[in-house]
Every structure is written in structure tokens, then in C-alpha cells.
């Protein structure tokens, strides 16, 4: 179907079903129960799942296929956000032009950065992209203040022109369909919310996912894999790999721009901190955690991190006391003392540890973990070891 083979079609249909039914899947616990804090089915979080999913899918096209580790992708996300907010300021709250422009701006931006950075490979490439991203961040904060509104961040004000607005709604909308409008469905003790913004992002995410599948299975994708495997050999066979890497870089930059545009469409704000290199690190982590070079991995990683970020940040000391209350006091306090480091504002510590553990023990990410477990149970010991699946280019 759609130019996909049987297995991929199955995967695609599976992803479609999961995203379509996400409001149900994410809210498995009744709204009033104690477990309700583990629900993730509210619009804001679900939007973040799919938006960061798009970001990670795009990053995976570059990193997973070519092995070029970019530490500056957040710059494209930020550029996309700024572009989208400018469209809101100038035209109207309709998100279609905003998203189109954000993809274009991020694409152009990534052509420039990619053209320069891709002259080097390996760690030089990482450092170059890092330097570019930090430069963009510094510029957004200071030099480009007329464009970015500096520290305050860019937002839409009442006296902005909004030429095409007319009597359109005062919130971001898709031809009149407001992004924030939500349909609440109460089924007994459960309540589910269906948000327009989420479904809009989800549709785009599915398109992005489909495109990435096609890229993975195309001759172009094969070429990118060849670059990752052995770029030197590729050069010796007389192929110039630069156009391919640049194309991959720009595609992933446009994905990041799309994610940035969607982020601004859900909440018409853009700030420089979206461009910071820790934000770039986050998407790297999502991709690695899920499994770089796999189709489903980045989506999985993005969902995993955003879900646990949300859950872990919410837990505080009193919640912990509630959990460990049944234990003797000494043990309880000890456990809480340990757990305190990792929850609430300590979520970043958990994230860092997770990052290290994944890189150390499971370089192939969750997808590799799943494969290993499946292999163990099916008793197939002759499967090829997939460790070290991704190697950086230019080694």
C-alpha cells in the first residue's frame, strides 16, 4: 500500500491506530482514582508527544542514517517557531501559512549551516553544529532582538497588524477550527479529551513518518546508510557524498522547522531557550533512547522522555510519602531521601543518568532492547549482534 511493503504497511497502520486512539490509550486510569496522576491524556502533553516525535523522526534521518551527530538541531526548531509567530503577527492566526513559512525558513537556514558544517565530519561536525547553534542562540538573545524580541520571547500583541485576520478567531486555528478546542468524553469514571491541536499535529506526524519510511526504503536512504558505513570507500568509488549528506541535513532541518512551527501553533510563543544546545541534546537523547536508525525508535523515544518528564516532574515529597508510607519509618525516610534526587526538579538528573545508561549498555536503544528480549524468548541465538549499529562518519 502506498508504495510500502507488507511489513511496513503493517507498521504504518499500527502507528496510525495508536495515534488515532491515543486519547484512550493515554488515559487508562479513571479520573478520580489515585492512579490518575499517571494519565497522560491531556491535550498539552499529547501535542508534545507528536511534535517531539516529528523532531526526532527528522533528526533520525540525519543521525540514524548518515551517522552525522548534529548538536545544533534545536536552532532549526527555534527558527521555525520564530517564523510561525511572525506569520501570526503579520497575517492572522491561521496556522497554515505559519507552518509553511516555518518549514521554508528552517530549510533555508539548514542549507546555510549544513553547507558549511558538512565540509567536516566526525567530531568536527558535531562541534561546528554546536557552535552554530550556540551562535544562533546568542544572536536570538541579542543581535536579532528586533526579530526575536530578545529575552522576553516573541509573542502576538493586540496592536500587531494581522492583515488577513478580519473577524477570525483570536486563537490559533486551521481555517476556523481552533487548535485549543477540545471535546470531552465521559465514559463512566473515565474521561477522555479529544483535542483539535493534537489531531492536527498527529496527522502531520503521520505524514512525516510516512515520508521517513519512504526515505528509509529508497535508494537515497541506501546511499545515506552507505555513508554511515564507510564514507572513505564511497569516496574512492568516485561518489561525492556531500550532496546526499546535505540533502539529509536539510530534510531533517525542515522536520525540525515543522516541529517548531507546530509548537508555536499550539501556543503562539517563541523564545530563544528553544535553541539552546541542551535542547539539541534532548532530541539526540530521544533518538538514541528509542533506537537510532530504526523507524519507530525516535517516536518511541520522544514519547518515553516526554511522558516521564511529565510524570517525574509532578512527583514531590508528599507523593513519595504516600507511596512508601507502609514501610517502617527508617526505611521510608531513607528511600525518600534517595528518590528525592530523581523526581521533581531532579528530573534532569534522571534524564542524564538514563542517557548514560542507554549509551553504555544499550547503544541501539529501546528497539534493540526489544529485539534482544524477543531473541531470547524465541531462542534464536544465531541472530546477528546489532551492537554498534551506528558509527559516525569519517572515522
Partner 1 sequence: MDAILLQILNGLDKGSAYALIALGLTLIFGTLGVVNFAHGALFMIGAFCAVTLQKILTISSVSIDPEKKDFLGNPMEVKTPYVESWFGEATGQLIINWSVPLAILFAIPVMLAVGYIMERGLIKHFYKRPHADQILVTFGLAIVIQEIVKHYYGANPIPTPAPDALRGSFDFGVLLGFDPNAVIYPLWRLVYFAFSALVIGGVFAFLQFTTFGMVVRAGMADRETVGLLGINIDRRFTLTFGIAAAVAGLAGVMYTPINSPNYHMGMDFLVLSFVVVVVGGMGSLPGAVLAGFLLGILESFAAMNEVKSFFEAIYLPSIDQIIIYLVAIIVLLTRPRGLMGRRGVMEE
Binding site for partner 1 (CB under 8 A): 67, 69, 71, 116, 119-124, 126-128, 130-132, 134-135, 138-139, 141-143, 277-278, 281, 284, 288, 341, 346, 348-349, 351-356, 359-360, 363, 388, 390-392, 394-395
Q: Which is nearer to partner 1, 108 or 135 (CB)?
A: 135
Residue 37 CB neighbour total at 10 angstroms: 13
Calculate the CA 244 to chain-centre distance.
23
Q: Which is nearer to partner 1, 97 or 346 (CB)?
A: 346
CB of 134 to partner 1, least distance (A): 5
Confirm if 206 and 16 have CB atoms less than 8 A apart. Answer: yes
Contacts of 41 (CB under 8 A, 6+ apart): 22, 23, 24, 25, 26, 27, 192, 193
CB of 281 to partner 1, least distance (A): 6
Calculate the CA 302 to chain-centre distance.
5
CB of 259 to partner 1, least distance (A): 21
Instruction: Quote the cell numbers at residue 189.
Output: 469514571
Confirm if 94 and 175 have CB atoms less than 8 A apart. Answer: yes
CB of 231 to partner 1, least distance (A): 9
Nearest residue to 81 (alpha-carbon basis) of 225, 247, 276, 234: 276
Q: How far is CA 230 from CA 179, 236, 282, 389, in A?
A: 46, 10, 27, 13
Q: Which is nearer to partner 1, 209 or 312 (CB)?
A: 312
Q: Which is nearer to partner 1, 67 or 257 (CB)?
A: 67
CB of 145 to partner 1, least distance (A): 9
**Given the C-alpha cell 486551521, which residue does it identify?**
174
Q: Which is nearer to partner 1, 176 or 238 (CB)?
A: 238
- The sign of the dihedral angle between the CA atoms of 370, 376, 377, 382 is positive
Q: Which is nearer to partner 1, 185 or 391 (CB)?
A: 391
CB of 341 to partner 1, least distance (A): 6
Amino acid at each position: 500500500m502506498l508504495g510500502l511493503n507488507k511489513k511496513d504497511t503493517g507498521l504504518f497502520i499500527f502507528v496510525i491506530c495508536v495515534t488515532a486512539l491515543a486519547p484512550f490509550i493515554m488515559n487508562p486510569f479513571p479520573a478520580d482514582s489515585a492512579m490518575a496522576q499517571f494519565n497522560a491524556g491531556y491535550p498539552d502533553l499529547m501535542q508534545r508527544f507528536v511534535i517531539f516525535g516529528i523532531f526526532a523522526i527528522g533528526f533520525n534521518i540525519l543521525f540514524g542514517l548518515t551517522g552525522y551527530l548534529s548538536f545544533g538541531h534545536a536552532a532549526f526548531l527555534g527558527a521555525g517557531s520564530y517564523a510561525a509567530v511572525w506569520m501570526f503577527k503579520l497575517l492572522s492566526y491561521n496556522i497554515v501559512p505559519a507552518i509553511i513559512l516555518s518549514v521554508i525558513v528552517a530549510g533555508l537556514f539548514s542549507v546555510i549551516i549544513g553547507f558549511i558544517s558538512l565540509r567536516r565530519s566526525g567530531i568536527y561536525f558535531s562541534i561546528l553544529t554546536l557552535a552554530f547553534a550556540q551562535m544562533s542562540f546568542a544572536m536570538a538573545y541579542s543581535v536579532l532582538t528586533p526579530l526575536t524580541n530578545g529575552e522576553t520571547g516573541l509573542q502576538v500583541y493586540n496592536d500587531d497588524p494581522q492583515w488577513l485576520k478580519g473577524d477570525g478567531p483570536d486563537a490559533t486555528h486551521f481555517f476556523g477550527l481552533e487548535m485549543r478546542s477540545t471535546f470531552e468524553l465521559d465514559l463512566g469514571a473515565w474521561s477522555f479529551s479529544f483535542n483539535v491541536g493534537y489531531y492536527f499535529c498527529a496527522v502531520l506526524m503521520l505524514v512525516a513518518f510516512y515520508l521517513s519510511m519512504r526515505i528509509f526504503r529508497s535508494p537515497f536512504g541506501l546511499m545515506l546508510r552507505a555513508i554511515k558505513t564507510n564514507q572513505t570507500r564511497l569516496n574512492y568509488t568516485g561518489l561525492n557524498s556531500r550532496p546526499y549528506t546535505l540533502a539529509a541535513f536539510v530534510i531533517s532541518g525542515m522536520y525540525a522547522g515543522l516541529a517548531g512551527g507546530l509548537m508555536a501553533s499550539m501556543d503562539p510563543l517563541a523564545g530563544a531557550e528553544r535553541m539552546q544546545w541542551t535542547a539539541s541534546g534532548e532530541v539526540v537523547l530521544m533518538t538514541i533512547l528509542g533506537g537510532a536508525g530504526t523507524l519507530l525508535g525516535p517516536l518511541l523515544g520522544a514519547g518515553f522522555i516526554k511522558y516521564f518528564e511529565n510524570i517525574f516532574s509532578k512527583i514531590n515529597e508528599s507523593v513519595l510519602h504516600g507511596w512508601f508510607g507502609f514501610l517502617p519509618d527508617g526505611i521510608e525516610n531513607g528511600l525518600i531521601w534517595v528518590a528525592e534526587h530523581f523526581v521533581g526538579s531532579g528530573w534532569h538528573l534522571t534524564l542524564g543518568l538514563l542517557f548514560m545508561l542507554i549509551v553504555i549498555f544499550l547503544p541501539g536503544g529501546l528497539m534493540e532492547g526489544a529485539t534482544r528480549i524477543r531473541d531470547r524468548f524465541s531462542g534464536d541465538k544465531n541472530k546477528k549482534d546489532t551492537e554498534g549499529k551506528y558509527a559516525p562518519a569519517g572515522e
